[in-house]
Amino acid sequence: MENQALRHILEAQQFSLEFMDEIFEEADGLREEVESRNYLNIFKTARELQGRTMLSVFYEPSTRTRTSFVLAGQKLGMNVCWTENAKEFSSATKGETLEDTIRVLCEYYPDVIVLRHHETGAAERAAKVSSVPIINAGDGKGQHPTQALLDIYTIKQCLGRVDDITVMMVGDLANGRTVRSLAYLLAKYKNVRIIFSSPEELAMKDDILQYLERKNVVVEVVNYFWPNYKDIDVIYETRIQKERGSTISEEEAKRFSLTPEKVEKLKPSTIIMHPLPRNHEISPEIDSNPRAKYFRQAGNGMFIRMALLKWVLGSL
Amino acid sequence: MENQALRHILEAQQFSLEFMDEIFEEADGLREEVESRNYLNIFKTARELQGRTMLSVFYEPSTRTRTSFVLAGQKLGMNVCWTENAKEFSSATKGETLEDTIRVLCEYYPDVIVLRHHETGAAERAAKVSSVPIINAGDGKGQHPTQALLDIYTIKQCLGRVDDITVMMVGDLANGRTVRSLAYLLAKYKNVRIIFSSPEELAMKDDILQYLERKNVVVEVVNYFWPNYKDIDVIYETRIQKERGSTISEEEAKRFSLTPEKVEKLKPSTIIMHPLPRNHEISPEIDSNPRAKYFRQAGNGMFIRMALLKWVLGSL
Amino acid sequence: MENQALRHILEAQQFSLEFMDEIFEEADGLREEVESRNYLNIFKTARELQGRTMLSVFYEPSTRTRTSFVLAGQKLGMNVCWTENAKEFSSATKGETLEDTIRVLCEYYPDVIVLRHHETGAAERAAKVSSVPIINAGDGKGQHPTQALLDIYTIKQCLGRVDDITVMMVGDLANGRTVRSLAYLLAKYKNVRIIFSSPEELAMKDDILQYLERKNVVVEVVNYFWPNYKDIDVIYETRIQKERGSTISEEEAKRFSLTPEKVEKLKPSTIIMHPLPRNHEISPEIDSNPRAKYFRQAGNGMFIRMALLKWVLGSL
Mean pLDDT score, C269-276: 96
- Tell me the domains of chain C and their CATH numbers: 12-143+301-312 (3.40.50.1370), 145-298 (3.40.50.1370)
Distance, in Å, from the CA atom of A9 to the CA atom of A144, rounded to the nearest integer, reads: 10
Any catalytic annotation for residue A239?
Answer: no
Contact call for residues B236 and B167 (beta carbons, < 8 A): yes
Is B94 marked active-site?
yes
Burial class (CB in 10 A: 0-12, 13-18, 19+), A139: buried
- A116 catalytically annotated: yes
Whether the per-residue pLDDT at C93 is higher than 70: the answer is no
| Tens digit of each residue's pLDDT (9 = 90 or more) over C30-85 | 999 999 888 777 778 778 898 899 999 998 878 789 999 999 999 999 999 998 77
Interface check C34 vs B, CB under 8 A: yes
Which residue among B62, B284, B298 places its CB closest to the CB of A107?
Answer: B298
Name residue A272's beta-bridge partners: A235, A292
Point out the catalytic residue in the list C7, C64, C103, C128. Answer: C64
Specify the pLDDT at position A243: 58
> pLDDT tens for residues A282-302?
999 999 999 999 999 999 999
Mutation for A interface: B40, B54, B63, most A CBs within 10 A: B63
Write out chain B residues lying below 8 Å of C277, CB-based: 91, 94-96, 100-101
* The pLDDT of residue C175 is above 90: no
With cut-offs at 50, 70 and 90, classify the pLDDT of residue C1.
very low
Residue C91, pLDDT score: 62
The string of DSSP codes covering chain C is ---TTS--B--GGG--HHHHHHHHHHHHHHHHHHHTT-HHHHHHHTTTTTT-EEEEEESS--SHHHHHHHHHHHHTT-EEEEES-HHHHSGGGGT--HHHHHHHHHTT--SEEEEEESSTTHHHHHHHH-SS-EEEEEETTS--HHHHHHHHHHHHHHHS-SSS-EEEEES-TTT-HHHHHHHHHHTTSSS-EEEEE--GGGPPPHHHHHHHHHTT-EEEEESS--S-GGG-SEEEE----GGGT----HHHHHTT-B-HHHHHTS-TT-EEE--S--SSSB-GGGGGSTTB-HHHHHHHHHHHHHHHHHHHTT--
Q: What is the ipTM for the molecules in this complex?
A: 0.94
Q: Is the pLDDT of residue C92 over 80?
A: no
Chain A partners within 8 Å of C89 (Cβ): 61, 63, 84-85
pLDDT in tens, A211-267: 999 999 999 999 999 999 999 999 999 998 765 566 788 888 889 999 999 999 999
- DSSP secondary-structure letter at B178? H
CB-based contact, B88 to chain A, within 8 Å: no
Q: What confidence score (pLDDT) does residue A42 get?
A: 76
Q: Which one-letter amino acid corresponds to residue A109?
A: Y
Of A81, A91, A94, the CB nearest to B71: A81
Whole-number pLDDT of residue B3: 47
pLDDT < 70 regions, chain A: 1-4, 87-93, 242-246
Average pLDDT of the segment spanning C150-158:
98
Closest B-chain CA to A90: B63
CB contacts of B86 in chain C (<8 Å) are 63
Q: Give the residue from chain A lying closest to C96, CA to CA.
A: A277
Q: Hey, which chains touch A, using 3+ CB pairs under 8 Å?
A: B, C
Q: Is B81 on the interface with A (CB under 8 A)?
A: no
The shortest C-alpha distance from A197 to chain C (Å) reads 22
Do C236 and C294 form a contact (C-beta atoms < 8 A)? Answer: no
In angstroms, the CA A308 to CA A312 distance is: 6
Q: Which helix (H) or strand (E) holds A197?
A: strand A193-197
Residues constituting chain B: 316
A56 touches chain B (CB under 8 A): no
Told to judge if C64 belongs to the known catalytic residues of this protein, a careful annotator would answer: yes
Beta-bridged to residue C169, according to DSSP, are C196, C236
DSSP conformation letters of C262-312: HHHTS-TT-EEE--S--SSSB-GGGGGSTTB-HHHHHHHHHHHHHHHHHHH
Write down the pTM of the prediction: 0.94
C278 is an active site residue? no
Question: Which residues does C304 contact at the CB level (< 8 Å), separation at least 6?
Answer: C23, C27, C146, C149, C150, C153
Low-confidence ranges of chain B (pLDDT < 70): 1-4, 87-93, 242-246
* Inter-chain touch B68–A94, beta carbons under 8 Å: no
Chain A with chain B: Cβ pairs closer than 8 A: 92
Predicted pLDDT at A63: 77
pLDDT at position B243 is: 57
Would you say A306 and A76 are in contact if contact means Cβ atoms under 8 Å apart?
Answer: yes
